[in-house]
Amino acid sequence: MIYRAAVFVTLKPVVNDPQGLTIHRGLRSLGFDSVQEVRSGKYLVLTLEEPDDRSARARVDEMAREVLANAVIEDYRVEVEAIGEPAASGELRA
């Protein structure tokens, strides 16, 4: 099965986020006064082939834990969905 996984990597709430703070200041200076906080992060979309939902989720979780996020400063969240059967050639069939 072909899966599409979304990995959201964000700085832990206690970690200072200079980019988020800068974007927050920018938004306020543009008149978006209601914004109380901005936290920046990474959004990664992975397409992968795995035998089933469980192995897809486990594999993406492993990648997020080992590589995509740094547990010292970051949290991550993973969403996985099946998007199709692999074609014989390995190409995704619509």
Partner 1 sequence: MRTGIVVFPGTWSDRDCAHALGDVLEEPCRFVDHRDRQLDDLDLVILPGGFSYGDYLRCGAIARFAPVMESVARFADRGGLVLGICNGFQVLQEARMLPGALLRNVSCEFRCEWVSLRVEQSASAFTAECRPGQVLRIPISHGEGNFYADPVTLERLESNGRVVFRYCAADGRVTDEANPNGSMANIAGIMNARGNVLGMMPHPERACEALLGSSDGLAIFRSAIRALQGVPA
Minimum CB separation of residue 82 from partner 1 in Å reads 26
**Which residue, 62, 43, 53, is CA-closest to 80?**
53
Q: Which residues contact 26 (CB under 8 A, 6 or more apart)?
A: none
| DSSP-based three-state secondary structure for 80 | strand
| Residue 34 DSSP label | T
Restricted to residues 67-86, the positions that interact with partner 1 (CB under 8 A) are 67-68, 70, 72-73
**Which residue, 85, 69, 72, 61, is CA-closest to 9?**
69
Nearer to partner 1 by Cβ, of 45 and 94: the residue is 45
Q: Which of 13, 18, 31, 51 binds partner 1 (CB under 8 A)?
A: 18
Nearer to partner 1 by Cβ, of 4 and 41: the residue is 41
**62 forms part of the interface with partner 1 (CB under 8 A):** no
Residues that bind partner 1 (CB under 8 A): 11, 14-16, 18-19, 21-22, 67-68, 70, 72-73
